[in-house]
Chain A
Amino acid sequence: MAQETEFLKFIKLLDNNGCLSHVILVGSWAEFLYDKANLLPKFVSNLRTLDVDFMVKNIHKPKEKIDIVKLARDDGFLVEKDRLFGTTKIINPEGLEIEFIIAKRGAGSEASVKTNLGVTAQSLRHLDILSKYTKIVEFFNMDIEVPLPEAFVIHKIIINNERKDKKEKDKISINGIYQHIDKTKFNEIYETLTLKEQKIVTEYVDKNMEID
């Protein structure tokens, strides 16, 4: 499909310039890789939007700054800066919108952070869950880091109440993946959450899912 070709084009750009190992693919395109890389046998990813989200692992890495914005422009992508938060949006004229996020830590109040990858990432809470539990999957001979599906589900559950219009879409995604994940791993990650986060997950599971 055209959008997959375009997705691949951007992944190759990151890979060719030593950026791919500094980001984690999150969002609906991570689900796409769970399916394509056979990370969850029998799981079929069926709802994929045209926004591609990458989580920057560390604002200070790589040590030598890379300018993804320039590289993307040179490769025919359009680049925009979000007016409200100043975050970078890399746009593929065929229709993909690529954005970057980063974990908000401590009392951090800033909505966005400049990174050594040359992009300004949106700073969000609860992303540590995604970056602590990851797996590298091979896709077209490239190593792409994605959150473990168990962490992906837990993260989506925790942020579900904040998702407004995307709440129901996320529920479909959570329920679709939940049936295929390793419940032992799920419980293992659950144990590492804060009490507040555990309460959110327990309430969600009780309300929306059948417990094995």
Chain B
Amino acid sequence: MSVLMNVLKEEYERSKRIVKSIDKELSILPIGYISKKQIGGHIYYYIQFKENGKIKSKYINEKDALEYNKKVLRRRKLLKNRKELLMDQKRIERVLR
């Protein structure tokens, strides 16, 4: 196997390992997102998520909402990274085929 092919194979394996790590963290991150509603001059926070195909909403206090939002953003970022890594893997698979 040529040097370049070996490097690609190595990077392919690395990418697979990274996706596995991302999946592990995704499994403990919450799904859904935070929505805000202003009622009578006061802001209320809700977790919006899908359950059995229906969008559900659950009240959450401001402090928890900020924490939850951080996790939601982290999930979004990791999903984006995961998508890019999977695209790279497909590209490498085409070259290695």
Binding site for B on A (CB under 8 A): 47, 49-51, 76, 78, 80, 91, 93-95, 97, 165-166, 168-169, 172
Question: How many residue pairs, one in A and one in B, have C-beta atoms under 8 Å apart?
Answer: 51
If over half of B's interface residues share one DSSP class (helix, strand or loop), that class is named, otherwise mixed; here it is helix
Docked pose: A195 CA to B82 CA in angstroms: 49
Chain A residues positioned under 8 Å from B1 (CB to CB): 165
Docked pose: A97 CA to B88 CA in angstroms: 16
Q: Do A93 and B6 have beta carbons less than 8 Å apart?
A: no
CB-CB nearest 3 A-B residue pairs: A93-B81, A78-B21, A168-B3
Docked pose: A169 CA to B7 CA in angstroms: 8
Within residues 15 to 34 of chain B, which ones have a CB less than 8 A from any CB in chain A?
A: 15, 17-18, 21-22, 24-25
Docked pose: A80 CA to B17 CA in angstroms: 10
Q: Do A95 and B18 have beta carbons less than 8 Å apart?
A: yes
Q: Do A76 and B74 have beta carbons less than 8 Å apart?
A: yes
Binding site for A on B (CB under 8 A): 1-3, 6-7, 9-11, 14-15, 17-18, 21-22, 24-25, 74, 77-78, 81-82, 84-85, 88
Distance in Å: Cβ of B89 to nearest Cβ of chain A: 11
Docked pose: A168 CA to B81 CA in angstroms: 31
Q: Do A95 and B21 have beta carbons less than 8 Å apart?
A: no
Docked pose: A97 CA to B81 CA in angstroms: 14
